[in-house]
């Protein structure tokens, strides 16, 4: 993983910055020392380009990341090789003094770091941040939550993602961590929003699949009758994946959407990606 990161940086960052990072990593490999490591972690900003990014599409995992984030993850992978006490103490010391970009790097690295049980509380606490970039570094495109969060922590993360309009399809494991309490909470939230004349992201209903009771069946029926094509697409996905027959009567309302599902044109990922693109275009106008 470290070599992959260095390769990406060598293709996109300045040669001097990459040389500095390689020299730093080599020295710390031979003789790890906390103080120089702290300086290096913070010193990334003095060597790499503040606006430099890895082109989207150039790497499945790191495409779109900025150089600061990637260089700091390379350093954290070196820290991961140290003994447990040194690793845990140093990680938390970094987190306690980290600025925004440093926090993003620390949380982004979680899937590749050892001793996850010692990092779990920090990850859950990080989700309380009101800074979108910090929330996203834990919740989106990050396997740590799916692998290690309790149902309670998971549910809180998903519900907050709904509240702040984050793209749910980018939550790793969103299709596998469904549970009864989350389904009920989403229904409750939907009813609150509908009563206030507001809407809920169609993506939310994926987490209700497999838990369709009478109330949720009525909710999905409401979505199936919506004028919003994204609502109807979400309803169709729930209907298509419902094995009990509870939603069978809704099929006649969604023939086009169900045909698209049959043709594999409509999936939860495709719906989420389409919705994210619409929001991006809207924000630019």
Q: What pLDDT was estimated at residue 285?
A: 67
Sequence-distant (≥ 6) Cβ neighbours of residue 122 within 8 angstroms: 91, 92, 95
Specify the pTM: 0.95
Return mean pLDDT, the chain: 96
Per-residue pLDDT tens digits for 105-128: 999 999 999 999 999 999 999 999
Per-residue pLDDT tens digits for 7-42: 999 999 999 999 999 999 999 999 999 999 999 999
What's the CA dihedral at 21, 104, 152, 116 to 10 degrees?
10
Residue 152: count other Cβ atoms within 10 Å of its Cβ: 12
Contact status, residue 229 vs residue 238, Cβ threshold 8 Å: no
Q: What pLDDT was estimated at residue 30?
A: 93
Q: What is the mean pLDDT of residues 67-84?
A: 98
Per-residue pLDDT tens digits for 228-285: 999 999 999 999 999 999 999 999 999 999 999 999 999 999 999 999 998 888 777 6
């Amino acid at each position: 993983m470290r070599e992959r990161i260095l390769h990406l940086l060598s293709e996109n960052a300045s040669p001097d910055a990459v040389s500095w990072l390689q020299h730093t990593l080599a020295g710390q490999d031979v003789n790890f020392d906390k103080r120089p490591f702290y300086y290096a972690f913070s010193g990334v900003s003095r060597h790499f380009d503040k606006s430099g990014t890895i082109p989207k599409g150039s790497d499945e995992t790191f495409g779109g990341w900025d150089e600061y984030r990637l260089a700091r993850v390379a350093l954290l992978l070196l820290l991961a090789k140290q003994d447990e006490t040194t690793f845990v103490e140093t990680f938390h010391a970094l987190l306690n003094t980290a600025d925004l970009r440093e926090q993003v790097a620390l949380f982004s690295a979680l899937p590749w770091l050892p001793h996850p049980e010692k990092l779990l509380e920090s990850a859950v606490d990080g989700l309380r941040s009101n800074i979108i970039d910090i929330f996203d570094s834990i919740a989106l495109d990050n396997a740590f939550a799916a692998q290690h969060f309790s149902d309670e922590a998971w549910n809180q993360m998903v519900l907050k993602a709904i509240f702040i309009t984050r793209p749910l399809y980018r939550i790793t494991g969103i299709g596998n961590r469904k549970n009864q309490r989350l389904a009920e909470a989403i229904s409750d939230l939907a009813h609150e929003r509908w009563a206030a004349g507001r809407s809920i992201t169609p993506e939310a209903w994926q987490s209700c699949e497999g838990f369709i009771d009478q109330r949720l069946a009525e909710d999905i029926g409401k979505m199936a009758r919506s004028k919003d094509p994204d609502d109807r697409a979400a309803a169709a996905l729930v209907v298509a994946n419902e094995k009990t027959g509870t939603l069978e009567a809704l099929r006649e309302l969604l023939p086009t959407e169900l045909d698209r599902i049959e043709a594999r044109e409509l999936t939860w990922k495709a719906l989420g990606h389409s919705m994210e693109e619409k929001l991006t275009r809207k924000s630019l106008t």
